[in-house]
Structure 1
Amino acid sequence: MAINSRHCLSKIFQPITAVSKTANIGHKDVTSKSQRLMLELGIIQQANPGSFHFLPLGIKSLNKLKKIVDDEMCKVGGQRVMFPSLINTKLWENSGRLENAGPELFQLKDRHDHSYVLSPTHEEAASELISSVSPLSYKQFPLRLYQITSKFRDEMKPRFGLMRGREFLMKDMYTFDIDAQSAKRTYEEICESYNKIFERIGVGFVKVLGTSGNIGGSLSHEFHFKADIGEDKVLFCNGCNYSANLELCKSHTCPKCGVEKSVDISNCIEVGHTFLLGDKYSKPLKARFLSKSGKPEDLQMGCYGLGLSRILAASVEVLSSEQEMRWPDTLAPYNVIIVPPKAGSKEEKSTKDVAEKLYTKIEDHIPELKDNVLLDDRLFLTIGRRHLDARRVGYRYAIVINQRASENVPLFELNDIKTNVQVYLDENQLYQYIKENTLL
């Protein structure tokens, strides 16, 4: 919340508590460090098993992630839409997917006894949309539609917080092309855009051959973060650079070069998935276009998912210690926190208004930090306590205002929490350090 155009920590709703005291959850239910840290430090709060409230700091990080995704989707011609979450069951019957959906698919009926699914993905809805305005001219393709919405899956045992829930936030794109060659080019272009998204996020990732599962298609890739708690096992061949989900491999032998000794198996968290679908959905749902000859033909599709709430949690999981949360610079709710002296202290009297002025100057000198500076105005607490809180929440830089800020040439204590560096810098050195070391 901004007070007088400043973000002040005392005004932010951030219930910091032990997990055992949070609603509907106890220590035995916490199965990952990201889940525990995000709960304890007031980033999320559990609503019921597998569903979470996103609190202000969580929303701020999520919005940064959405911005990265929107930027890259725009670059590849993506147009943002929003499909309904309630999808008529007949669409899933027509695509042939309903009978194999399994118990994880939420199904319900309205008061008129009409059947619906609470959609975990929207291939049918996207196809039905195009069908409803078909046949479109071949000149109107390729068409690339995406959304960022909540999805639903009836997990038997939700776990790992945001990484395996019943309600989760996804970016899903559905592309339509007039032939298989064009669809393959689109597939490669969107996969490259996913590379750029993960490069901008700043957490190490791998792209591997994936399983098509219930969604189907002729080609699939998965994007993963390596992590011990990851539920996917990925095979990496050091001999020929082949990499794939282990489900695609019959054993621990590389299926491409046949060498066993050069293979590594890693636990990974899947954070993105792409599928080249062909006409699996467009044909039964009659999503067509008019060719140059005027003949209606089936469109070729692709679908592309990013688990946004999962990416947020997985980033924290990969980067954090057991006691302190860490964010990639691009997703941290705030990048800089300023810690003024305690009320009534000698330092407070000699550095009056220094923190507020520095706040404004940082945003002026480093435009990328606009709206990313936070003032810890809880002056009833010691500097040490507030600095400890800043470390636990994982703000990249904590700038402490102490007695040295009142010298003829004011010096500021800069704590680079990511690298565990503490230095005293004048104003210009401070701005320069932050500019050179922050990935935004």
Structure 2
Amino acid sequence: MSAILIKNGHLVDPANQKDEVCDILIQDDKIAKVAANITDNEAQVIDAAGKYVMPGLIDLHVHLREPGFEYKETIETGTKAAAHGGVTSICPMPNTKPVIDSAERIKDLLKRAKDAPVHVLPIGAVTIGQEGKELTDIAAMKEAGAVALSEDGKSVMDTLVFRKALWKAAECNIPMFSHCEDKSLVDGGVMNAGAKAKELGLPGITNAVEDVIVARDIIMSKEAGCQLHLCHCSTKDSAVLIKMAKEQGLSVTGEVCPHHFTMSDDQITEDHGRFKMNPPLRSKEDVEALRGALRDGIMDAISTDHAPHGAKEKNQSMKKAPFGIVGIENSFALGYTELVKKGYLTLSQLVEKMSVNPAKILHIDKGNLAQGRTADVIIADLSTEYAIDTNDFFSKGKNTPFEGKKVYGRIETTIVDGKIVYQFESEK
């Protein structure tokens, strides 16, 4: 029996209302004991004095790019990046080549990921080839291991097709992850419509591009009785609409990405692809609304929409560069620095947004460090400031505007199924 004993760490486990200094004994892949002053002469000891111990993070929204775009990212590099960021479970989106749109392709993805250092929980496409016309075999994909459905990268613009998908998802009891973007309203936009877009001479993307589909999908999910999760929400009215849905008792949740609660469009310094993401960086008013929505429990989760690209693709004008930002390796640090240190959330609430609530959305038995639960555990140093450095990234993608940003919340150890899969001391 392999054992790890984490000593003297400050445990933050909101699922069990724990916020205290104690020890955790891990045996094989399970939490064996949580108590003060545990002794085990056979266990590998990790002294976590002065550090914080938390359940592993769960990222609902990741792009691994494999198969088809391995020059951007692979399952190997993407899952190592996840471990580096303290993310022990990830949900890769299906917009690969070929699209993950069948039970066979779900199985192939899981086979490719069988030796990954973190849990890979696939999301299946809503329509075949993500062409928006013919529904995939949703029941078969769920049976094969899909945890959710999404047409991420685009919306199902045909409302009748989407309606049928929601009804089928409800029948199969699988959540629908909605990419909210009215393609007809984008109209060539590359960044948020506003003063900065005018200053840079770039076409803008209005908030309505997102808000119209958020409203549509909430209404449609209500009719179908389907669990709806709204991806990468970026506008103040997305928060208003989700609040209204919750007040009606609908099964609607929303996620916010770190870049959307950290940066506004007025902080874009030049016309460069590292600032281009979808949805775009929004106004200060939107940023503040998203922070408030996270604080008030309107937005349920923090996910990254980790979207790696090649350096040449991103090192050009926003007019030509693809949309996307990497984020899985610094999501916790940005959350802690921007939300906890600035008083929007407590550390326990941040863990809820990044671990407990994502587990609930997926209906999986994670985000919980009680005795007998799976030993997905992270240890973080919250007191040492450091600068984000893409040279330290395990991801192939370096496309981020946060290079050099000073943050707190370095992940020091990541444990998955009772095995250490990342330690800061061994960083490349």
**Higher radius of gyration, 1 or 2:** 1
User: Which one has more relative contact order, counting CA pairs under 8 Å at least 6 apart?
Assistant: 2
So what's the TM-score if we normalise by structure 1?
A: 0.25
So what's the TM-score if we normalise by structure 2?
A: 0.25
